[in-house]
Structure 1
Amino acid sequence: MAGKIYEMSNKISTKHKLTIALTIFIVIVIAVLWSSIFGYNSATQILVKQSPFGEMSCIDHAGFYFKGFGTIYEYDRTKDFYFNSSNEKVKGQSWEGDDTDEDDISVTLSRNANADISGYLKYQLPTVCEELIKIHMDQRGDRQLKHGLVRNAVLSAVRKTAPLFTAEEAKVTKIAEFRRLAEDQLIYGEYLTTTEIREEKVGEDEVDSTGRVTKKAESQQYTVTKLALDAQGQRVLIKESALKQYNIRILQFEIQNVKLDAKAQQQLDIVKEREMKRVAERTASETAKQQAITAEAEGKAKVAKEKAEQEVVKIREVTQAEKERDVAILNAQKEKEVARLAAEKAIEDAKRIRAEGEAEAAANRAKVQAGLTPQEAAEWAYKTKVGVAEALAKSSHPLVPSIMMGGADGKGGSTAMDAVGLKYLMDINEKLSK
């Protein structure tokens, strides 16, 4: 009986052990296969999945996803591409690239000036699955996409832009335009260009003291590259951008530095020095011209001020003269009116006196006719005239106007008023004698 119990216990223990072992095996298998069945995606990535049967699909959401034993290819949604040989900070930004990035891009600028250009590009992949699958089919991975497609596109755009600018333009005066044109060729594609041969002097002509050219400066030819334009004045696109073909967006493109070689830098320094000298001369000329204009304006202002002051004095004197003239005319008119009234008064007095004299004369004649002797008649005539003269002398209204106008030489009256008064007196005496 004890043996049977022991045998049954042994069978149960063996079965339990097999169950535990099988469970452990299943857990191990699941643990091993979990990474092939499920996966986790970051929000910064887009995944391309190839199933065991070759079907391609995309995973663009963050979190867990069903992997299904497929092969997963990871692509960054946005990525930076640096072209910089130095790890020093440029405009506050340090070089953060890896072996998929690039050193400075060596270019040849206009007039055979060489330079190394550094900068960076930030780009974004499309979110449409078909476009992402196309990128994967052609590029076979994110690393090859960046180091192959993006790198070559940047190098091509920068190098095809460089011949359109001189060293001075790319380094100083047109750096923003250089960046913009390189970005346009990166986004849209390559533009058609034309070239032309130009000639310029090397140095300055030699002149003598009279300014006559004794030796002309040597000249050299150089090639100028320009963008070709169509009839509407638009750029001519001859090759579409590789980035545009895959709908890869350019988020940011920067030219951080343009480092000229020694020869190009020396030529640029000469141009700068010459330009600074020209600017200084132009500034001095403009200053002298402005000073001359200022002096002329000040002189004109001074002359105008003096003329204005003289004009004020002239107007004041003319006004005073006109005032004095008007006053003199008014006074003369007043004097004339007074003289006229005095003369009329004298005539009236003379008439009255004459009437009195005639009455007295008539009485005397009557007496003579009544029997006066010739001697008595003469005495009466004499007394009559004397009486008239005394009466005239005692008159409160003089027959001769008392207003006399002095002569211009200060020697007394010799005016028309004297003649008028004398004439009145003579007429009265003549009438009284009749």
Structure 2
Amino acid sequence: MLTFFGILILIIGVISLVITPFFNSSKALAWFTKTRSLQLIAFGFVLSVLSGLLFYAEPGTAYAVQYPWGSQKAVFRQGIHTKMWGRLIPIQFELPIKYVIPDSEGDLGEQSQYANVDKAKYWAFSDAVKARIATSVVISINTVDEDQFLSVADRNKTERNLIRSRIIPNIDQSIKNTCKLMDAQDYISGQASDFDRYFKDQLENGMYVLEEYITNESVETIGDSMTIRTITNNKESKQKRFRIKKINGEPVRERGNSLKSYGLTVIQAVVTEIDWESTFDKRLQLQKEEVAQTQLEKQQAEREFYRAQKETAKGEAEKATERAKLEKQQIQKTIEAETRAKVAEFNLIEERKKYEVAQFKAKTQKTMADAQSYENAKLVTAGLTPQERAEWEYKTSVNVARELKDLRLPQIYFESGGKQGEQGNLLQNLIGAELAKKMLSKPSSKR
């Protein structure tokens, strides 16, 4: 711009210097004196030279300066630097590249002069579902290796050409390969993070080499363990899929197709939005409704399950209460039965003691009866009945005392020369004989 203004001022000064001598009388050209024309020429020359001699490096931008004599240099710092009428190739430190889904009016939204924004394209997933994929990618250039930066700048000439010919084709190829690795249903079912990971890895390290393989449709089993039914679709039982080709566990990549070879680093590569085709949107809506219905039925089933559990628990509680009540009654009856058994046992022991006492009494009575019978037998043997013997004993006990009172023994008796014990026996025999004679005589006299 300065060069343009400088050259313009220089031309005006030269023209004024040439035509001023021929129009001295013109009032319109009175201001353009010879001195002023020379000043304009000098100012225009300096201005045009100054713009080609120096340039201002903006912050966040790297410059490749290519001099007229064939040398070049890289400028990474902001400020004023020498240009020496050389060529400048400015490239930003970070290159934002965005794919945006336009609105209903086709507007891409607010744009930035430092970002490269394009309309999002349609891409087909493995199951042939198409969608517009909006991405946000940020690429960083190499500001450490000056030679590599100059090589990239020299081969691509401009920043726009670098983006259009190198970066965007890699982004498109990465999206295409990543879409082949999964179904649309897989993406919305939780593999969105895998999509971002595959996308960024291919951008930075190179495109995957994909290989085809055939998958058999899994057999769907319906029913319980008693009735098994399977559903298969013979027309779609086999499906062609793609997967990453690997050798020794490492993915095989295409050679020479990597941003890393240009000294570019992927700082960010994410999918910001996906606009599915209308048919898939309808399918998603039906799936959402089906999922919502399934969740509702699941909640109802869980509610019924917990209600059944509650009723079961309530029944178990009532059963436990009834069991405790019956066990209490059982314990009470058991205790009563044990008490009666103890009482009966004690009664049995008491009766046994009574029986033993009665046995002892009976034995005693029997012994006494046997003794009495023996005695009676002796008396009978002696000629006396028991009655008579009893009467005799009574009378003897009564009359002995009386007769002893009136008994008059002989004044003179003879004793033998026996011992003293024999004398006592003789006396007793005499007394007994006398008494017996009196007692026997009295009853006979009464009769």
Say yes or no: TM over 0.5: yes
> Aligned pair in 2 of structure 1 residues 97, 200: CA closer, same or farther (>3 Å)?
farther
Residue 119 (structure 1) aligns with = 135
Counterpart of 2:74 (choices 58, 63, 67) is 58
Residue 254 (structure 1) aligns with = 270
In the TM superposition, residue 109 of structure 1 has moved relative to its aligned partner by 1.6
Gaps of 5+ in 1: 1-17, 206-210, 385-434
Structure 1 residue 96 corresponds to structure 2 residue 106: no
Residue 306 (structure 1) aligns with = 322
Residue 184 (structure 1) aligns with = 201
Residue 45 (structure 1) aligns with = 61
Does structure 2 retain, via aligned residues, the 8 Å contact 1:48–1:73? Answer: yes
Taking the aligned partners of 1:47 and 1:233, their CA distance within structure 2 comes to 42
What is the identity, as a one-letter code, of the residue corresponding to 1:62? Q
TM-score (norm 2): 0.60
In the TM superposition, residue 375 of structure 1 has moved relative to its aligned partner by 9.0
Taking the aligned partners of 2:110 and 2:42, their CA distance within structure 1 comes to 50
Counterpart of 1:245 (choices 261, 265, 277) is 261
Mapping for residues 15-94 of structure 1, pairs under 5 Å: 29-86=45-102, 94=109
Deviations 1:106-165 (A, max 9, x none): 211222222211122122111121221121122111111122212111111112212223
Mapping for residues 86-235 of structure 1, pairs under 5 Å: 86=102, 94-96=109-111, 100-128=116-144, 129-171=146-188, 173-197=190-214, 219-220=235-236, 223-230=239-246, 233-235=249-251
In the TM superposition, residue 190 of structure 1 has moved relative to its aligned partner by 1.6
Mapping for residues 340-351 of structure 1, pairs under 5 Å: none
In the TM superposition, residue 48 of structure 1 has moved relative to its aligned partner by 1.3
Does structure 1 retain, via aligned residues, the 8 Å contact 2:211–2:245? Answer: no
Does structure 1 retain, via aligned residues, the 8 Å contact 2:101–2:132? Answer: no
Larger radius of gyration: 2
Does structure 2 retain, via aligned residues, the 8 Å contact 1:102–1:151? Answer: no
Deviations 1:370-424 (A, max 9, x none): xx9x99854255799xxxxxxxxxxxxxxxxxxxxxxxxxxxxxxxxxxxxxxxx
Taking the aligned partners of 1:232 and 1:95, their CA distance within structure 2 comes to 47
What is the identity, as a one-letter code, of the residue corresponding to 1:132? F
Taking the aligned partners of 1:221 and 1:341, their CA distance within structure 2 comes to 104
User: Which one is further off, 100-109 or 322-331?
Assistant: 322-331
Secondary structure at the residue paired with 1:175? helix
**Equivalent residue pairs, number:** 339
Secondary structure at the residue paired with 2:117? coil
> Aligned pair in 2 of structure 1 residues 156, 217: CA closer, same or farther (>3 Å)?
closer
> Aligned pair in 2 of structure 1 residues 293, 217: CA closer, same or farther (>3 Å)?
farther
Residue 393 (structure 1) aligns with = none
What is the identity, as a one-letter code, of the residue corresponding to 2:179? A
Does structure 1 retain, via aligned residues, the 8 Å contact 2:149–2:263? Answer: no
Taking the aligned partners of 1:117 and 1:375, their CA distance within structure 2 comes to 146
Taking the aligned partners of 1:168 and 1:66, their CA distance within structure 2 comes to 58
> Aligned pair in 2 of structure 1 residues 263, 321: CA closer, same or farther (>3 Å)?
same
Secondary structure at the residue paired with 1:174? helix
TM-score (norm 1): 0.61
Gaps of 5+ in 2: 1-33, 397-447
In the TM superposition, residue 173 of structure 1 has moved relative to its aligned partner by 4.2
> Aligned pair in 2 of structure 1 residues 64, 323: CA closer, same or farther (>3 Å)?
farther
Taking the aligned partners of 1:288 and 1:263, their CA distance within structure 2 comes to 37
In the TM superposition, residue 95 of structure 1 has moved relative to its aligned partner by 4.7
Taking the aligned partners of 1:38 and 1:293, their CA distance within structure 2 comes to 86
Taking the aligned partners of 2:168 and 2:289, their CA distance within structure 1 comes to 38
Residue 391 (structure 2) aligns with = 379
Cα RMSD for the two superposed structures:
4.8
In the TM superposition, residue 189 of structure 1 has moved relative to its aligned partner by 2.0
Taking the aligned partners of 1:200 and 1:147, their CA distance within structure 2 comes to 41
